[in-house]
Amino acid sequence: MEDGQIIQLFFERSERAIREPERKYGGLCRSIAGKILNDREDAEECVNDALLAVWNAIPPNRPDMLQPYLCRIVRNLSLKKYHSNTAQKRNRQYDVLLEELSDCLDSGRSVEEEILARELAEELNAFLKALDSRDRILFVQRYWYCLSIPEIAENLRMTRNAVRVRLHRLRERLKRYLGQKEAYGRESEKNGTPAECRKGRQERRADEHQGTGSGGQRH
């Protein structure tokens, strides 16, 4: 069943609205939750909670694509569960991913706090849009879907060493990119008040949004 048809089931409040996305994306959702939590019961709970959250959100929301919409909810719920777990239950596999990205973030805040920061999220989205399709897929599979090196290598038909090297180069690019943005931000703060800087950032975002809507094309 196509995503548009499933979304229509939610608007109709059909009982199939829960069953169809679970049937189509349940495996992917459990994989995302499982790699973050490393606990089958916790992962299953997050997937069920995500499906209920989608039921409560649609309507009024009408996402263009159901898969990223559902996966984002699963991931956010899994991260909340991850933080609520005791230190003894922390998932080493997910900690490795956080450690990989920590070198890209020049800040005293934790990686989790940085990822949840709105401005950093916007910068990450801009960074991803600047990548070619293959690098974008590789980065997202590693740091969004939490896939292992062997899984990515199989999906993209690359050697494991090639995946490791490419990810390292992408992290270096991200580090340089964020460093340039931070330097630009510090220079802006010197030339204006914080309120003026915030206003300038908002105006730039509005201009970028209008430019995308009028002549640009999103990928």
pLDDT value, residue 213: 45
Closest to 67 measured CA to CA, from 12, 21, 33, 13 = 21
CATH of 3-89, one of 1.10.10.10, 2.60.40.60, 3.30.365.10, 1.10.1740.10: 1.10.1740.10
Q: Is the N-terminal amide bond of 68 cis, ω within 30° of 0?
A: no
In whole angstroms, give the CA distance from residue 63 to residue 112.
26
What pLDDT score does 183 carry? 61
Q: Where along the chain do the CATH 1.10.10.10 domains lie?
A: 92-214
Q: CA-CA distances (angstroms) from residue 38 to 29, 88, 93, 171, 181?
A: 13, 12, 8, 25, 35
Whole-angstrom distance, CA of residue 218 vs CA of residue 204: 17
The CA distance from 212 to 202, in Å, is: 15
Task: Give pairs for 195-203: CB < 8 Å, separation 24+.
Answer: 201/119
Tokens 């805040």 found at: 109
Find, among 110, 104, 40, the residue nearest to 78 by Cα: 40
pLDDT of residue 79: 86
- In the chain, CATH 1.10.1740.10 sits at 3-89
For position 39, what pLDDT does the model report?
87
Q: Which of 131, 118, 109, 117 is nearest to 177 (CA)?
A: 131
End-to-end CA distance of the chain: 24
Q: How far is CA 10 from CA 46, 116, 201, in A?
A: 20, 29, 37
Residue matched to tokens 């005791």: 86
Predicted confidence at residue 210, as pLDDT, reads 46
Report how far residue 189's alpha carbon sits from residue 168's, in angstroms, rounded to the nearest whole number. 32
* Amino acid 209: pLDDT: 47
Q: Can you give the pTM of this predicted structure?
A: 0.59
CATH class of 92-214: mainly alpha
Give the model's pLDDT for residue 35. Answer: 87
Distance CA 142, CA 97 (A): 8
Give start and end residues of each alpha helix (H) in 58-159. 66-84, 92-102, 111-116, 118-130, 133-143, 149-156
pLDDT tens across the length of the chain (219 residues): 899 999 999 999 998 999 999 999 999 999 999 988 888 999 999 999 999 999 999 999 999 999 989 999 999 899 888 877 755 555 566 666 767 777 676 554 555 565 555 666 778 888 999 999 999 999 988 888 888 899 999 999 999 999 999 999 999 999 888 887 666 555 555 555 444 444 555 555 544 444 444 444 444
Q: Which amino acid is at 206?
A: A
User: How far apart (Å, rounded) are the C-alpha atoms in residues 207 and 58?
Assistant: 30
CA distance 152 to 158: 8
